[in-house]
Structure 1
Amino acid sequence: MQEQATAHGPGEGRVLDESEWRRRAEAHAARVDAATSAHRARRADGRRHPVEDFLFTYYSFGPAQLRRWHPGAGVGLRGADGSPHREWRFYRRVGDVVALDLEEFEAVRGGTVRFVRALLDATASRPGRFGCFGLHEWAMVYRQSPDDVRHADWPLRLGAAGTDAVVESHRIACSHFDAHRFFTPEAVPRNTLSPSRSRQVQDEQPGCLHAGMDLYKWAHKLVPLVPSELVLDCFELARDIRGLDMRAAPYDLRELGYEPLPIETAEGKVRYAAEQRGFAERGQRLRRRLLDVLDGVAVATDDGASAAAGPTGAVEAGRGAR
């Protein structure tokens, strides 16, 4: 990477030559295109996918937004005249260099930065719990009529009665509010925990699949502060976790290439927990990388105490159905 030091300007000490940042932007676009090609083709044809569409319906960040490359905080781009960033929100130009305007970003998104930092830091500090076995997806269809099932185009592999029996024979311990809020009314009292939006910072733990998927949400909500390569790393983790989430769900998705993981069996539970641990480890590494970005902003803005102070208000949840 060709970086040149500068004593002033929006790059705050790091400036990429135009050839380097264009190379990185093109590499990022190619990586996104490969990751989203199937979704874009289905969208053009009006086809739905119960697994992969989640990344674009629940999380409010489309392929075009994901494709747009941002260098992240503290990196200036030389060749401002040829840079699209000069027209984008939260960027400013000084001479031939364009970069993120941290002061403007902090003024507009400071509350989100503080909330996300507090949430990620608290989650990273806790041990993971690995005994939920993905029962949140079962609780979302518990005692529902066939017409009301969330992914009604796909059969329940144990049928409605068999699905209900799995819920009734297991201890449900869902710690994630944005999964728990989709439980059917009959399933809500079966959860041994009571997650809430106001307790999100206190409740989230790194073993939770949905806390791992939500790293993508927090990363894209902090664009352009977070470099695009890190946002895409979080997207790929969310995509991989979603696969496990739906293989362990009550649906039969073998037609789509998802072999069921039968969490209702002892063998299935062992396999689920093993995969869950692997995703938790990946999530912790990404969580630390996001925290490094936010800690750097706290230093750059001389606002470390504020950034660590915790949530100042609710951050909107994902908008679509799980």
Structure 2
Amino acid sequence: MTAALAPAAPLDVADWRARRRAHEERVDAWLAPHLARRRAGAKHPVEDFLFTYYSHRPAQLRRWHPGAGVVLRGADPAEFGRDYRATAAGLTLDTAAVRARRAESVGWIRTLLAATAGRPAHLGCFGMHEWAMVYRQTQEEVRHNAWPLRLSPAGTAAVVEERGVRCSHFDAYRFFTAPARPLNQLTPTRERQHELEQPGCLHANMDLYRWAYKLSPLVPSELVADAFALAREIRTLDMRASPYDLAALGYPPVRVETPEGRAEYAAAQRGFAERAGTLRARLLAALGDD
């Protein structure tokens, strides 16, 4: 049985509407460029990733939820949907019903978050997962083939073979080219995700956005947006350290094929791991204790 979180003081109409408006304005700043590109049929390899790779739609990201245990005075149930119920104090999330309906997925996510938080961060991958995704491919074959590679295909392959690959994240590993997979020191699978996920991994930390929105509306939308914001920054490093040349888009490369680039990457990775650790703890706290 999950212990209930301590109830928060009810929010007056002006307070919760101000929170909702601030959330919508924050998200709109991310959505507007993406939606404009989508209407124009244009693509951006960095900025569009979170909207195309993850299943959370723009309208869902924009929609505000206060989180479990929050009471909204003067709120219309029709504005918030089936997961909310009216009480004498105001509108609140029917937390028990949501937890019961999602018990399996909430338990799976909680276990993953706790297991990842309990491990030390490993910072020695130097972004080779992105290089393994284009290993031994031609320019025409690579995923983002509208953008050139910084090195020749042979040069890219040489970096992968020299540095080696130690990727623990299944959803990165599954995009490796067939020749790259045997070069990885690990064999991640979905079944081993709880065993292998570690807090230094850029993709594991980007995925905090996934777990946050999958836990919504149990977690407040501000926390989902915080996870999205961190994921945007991580994606930027991910692609700057990749073999793609995105300088024309304003992304100078982190040259992980050099000692200086690897030091830069590891320092940024360490900072992201610390920030992700805080978000991971907030997600676990929002779920309460078993």
Cα distance in structure 1, aligned partners of 2:106 and 2:271: 27
Q: Is the 8 A contact 1:79 1:96 kept in 2?
A: no
For 2:32, the equivalent position in structure 1 comes to 37
> Which amino acid letter does the alignment assign opposite residue 206 of structure 2?
M
> Which amino acid letter does the alignment assign opposite residue 293 of structure 1?
A
Q: Is the 8 A contact 1:123 1:206 kept in 2?
A: yes
Determine helix, strand or coil for the equivalent of 1:205. Answer: coil
Structure 1: gaps spanning 5 or more residues: 1-10, 299-303, 305-322
Q: Does 1:283 align with 2:266?
A: no
Match of 1:204 among 175, 181, 197: 197
Cα distance in structure 2, aligned partners of 1:82 and 1:61: 23
Give TM-score, length-normalised by structure 1. Answer: 0.86
CA RMSD in angstroms comes to: 1.4
Match of 1:79 among 70, 74, 80: 74
Give TM-score, length-normalised by structure 2. Answer: 0.95
Structure 1 residue ranges, 4+ long, deviating more than 2 angstroms after superposition:
11-14, 80-83
> Which amino acid letter does the alignment assign opposite residue 162 of structure 1?
G
Alignment of 1:44-123 (within 5 A): 44-81=39-76, 84-85=79-80, 88-95=81-88, 97-123=90-116
Q: Does 1:15 align with 2:10?
A: yes
For 2:181, the equivalent position in structure 1 comes to 188
Match of 2:150 among 135, 157, 174: 157
Structure 2: gaps spanning 5 or more residues: 1-5
Cα distance in structure 2, aligned partners of 1:129 and 1:248: 17
Cα distance in structure 2, aligned partners of 1:249 and 1:201: 26
For 1:234, the equivalent position in structure 2 comes to 227
Measure how far apart 1:66 and its partner are: 0.8
Q: Deviations over 1:28-76 (max 9, x none)?
A: 1111111222212211211100111110011111221111110000001
Determine helix, strand or coil for the equivalent of 2:222. Answer: helix
Q: Deviations over 1:1-37 (max 9, x none)?
A: xxxxxxxxxx955321111100100011111111222
Measure how far apart 1:82 and its partner are: 7.6
Determine helix, strand or coil for the equivalent of 1:146. Answer: coil
Measure how far apart 1:145 and its partner are: 2.9
Measure how far apart 1:161 and its partner are: 1.3
Measure how far apart 1:81 and its partner are: 3.3
Q: How many residues align?
A: 285
For 1:309, the equivalent position in structure 2 comes to none
Identity rate, percent: 60
